[in-house]
Amino acid sequence: MKKIIGVYRNQNMHWVGDGFPVKNLFSYDRLGQAISPFLLLDYAAPYHFSPTTQQHGVGSHPHRGFETVTLAYKGEVTHKDSAGGGGTIKTGDVQWMTAGAGLVHEEFHSPEFAKSGGLFEMVQLWVNLPAADKMTAPKYQAIAAQDIPVIELEDDAGYIRVIAGRYIADHAEQVGPATTHSPVNVWDGELKAEHVHHLHVPVDHTVLVVVLAGEMQLNGAQHVQDSSIVMFAKDGEAEIQLEALQDSKFLVLTGQPLNEPIQGYGPFVMNSKDEIIQAFNDFNSGKFGEIPVTA
């Protein structure tokens, strides 16, 4: 089995805008190349919002050089961007936004969710773009829950969804609907208490298991609580054992490391300081465009 090289837990919550109460579970400014091609993951654990007529979320802000992936577990988010992308993701849906050369976007609770209120639970993942693709045209993928393949585990133990990449089990392969710029797997799922499941992952990938909720034991020895990430060695092994001590919700992220310099500042992630300065100049001169105003 793959060797575990680190377990990190964060229970401290902070607000992103006024609509996203999140725990940052990993970030490139702390872990750098060890998590490449992934950059950051924020988990908005279940949080109850009261009904309101006000708009809650994050207003217009820019990005360049990477992709944001938003997984909606509870609640709804409406997105709009300067490249013409937009839509509302609901429970079970995924939004995959390629910022590429640069765009401006906003994310708010949908009017319907704001009006009714209720539990809100989301994950936002940042995936780095290879240097050759950092200035690619922006793109927006709205992935509906019904378009995500679901693998039902034996003995009614739970399930795994294949959002991006390929999942191979029992000689059968499922391919996720998201298109990516480098080899990446994004799987999420649930495992019921007292059940065990074995995962096979690419041997040359960075591998992270994110335990969002519940309590698990990995590889028969490592106890992992909620709001934690587990990092694995690139040791040529391909198997991970998941065991749920309580009903658990998790994410599995694997990706081929980019092995390129990472230079980030705020909403921009590039390969050099000069490119960051250029991103600010381009944004300030209006090259990222504007979000269309709708009546």
Query: Which residue numbers belong to the known binding site?
Result: 61, 63, 105, 107
User: How many angstroms separate the Cα of 38 from the Cα of each of 42, 93, 203, 256, 262?
Assistant: 12, 20, 17, 10, 11
Task: Please list the alpha-helical segments (H only) found in 32-154.
Answer: 111-116
Neighbours of 72 (CB within 10 A): 21
Taking the alpha carbons at both ends of the chain, their separation in whole angstroms is 56
Rounded CA gap, 135 and 100, in Å?
Answer: 5
Binding residue ranges for Fe cation: 61, 63, 105, 107
Taken in order 202, 138, 42, 80, is the CA torsion positive or negative? negative
Give the β-pairing of 38-49 and 57-63.
unpaired
Half-sphere exposure of 203 (CA within 13 A, CB side): 5
